[in-house]
Structure 1
């Protein structure tokens, strides 16, 4: 029997910086725990966003792969203005818009962005 399940984000040296950014950019998001290795990198961290626990760490080895937009965090918000604000905040400073905020026919307002750390976010106002 599975006791728990959570998305897991593996960074390569920028975990704490990314989680701090998410806690500032996403309303209500917070870092729950953050344990460091002796070298200062993140051994294990937990973040909460709208009741979802997300686990994260800094990978000890450097990998030839990074995040892919095919796996993203989906945020549902109450207004088109929130879509615009979150998309702008998350794509700032080196991020990018995969689908700029707009009406794509399946919601009032939708955006899909990749942040500067690599993870992607779908932001929807149904």
Structure 2
């Protein structure tokens, strides 16, 4: 799925006036250039990974997954419609570790679903990577 650059970013980030940020000003640059424009922190990476799930962008998801935990490939659930993301907490553990708690809502075959996870992230060579998470 492609996302319009001037449309609201699926991650739900808002500006200081609580207006949704455009995809091109939010997660779009990270997805467009993973090598040259890495996410600056674990929360931004988590939000961009949510957008990658919305877009079914497996290369981005795999490139931002810590190598030791990265699966060899990804499969997306057919017919899933992502409905929104709520970031509940971004906790910096130390200079190279962080956690992000979030709830992602979706619908599959007319049934609502919630994914509530506390994700772990690591920074290696100046870049943040998703490691794994615990479902809540």
Above 0.5 in TM-score? no
Q: TM-score, normalised by structure 2?
A: 0.27
TM-score, with structure 1 as normaliser:
0.29
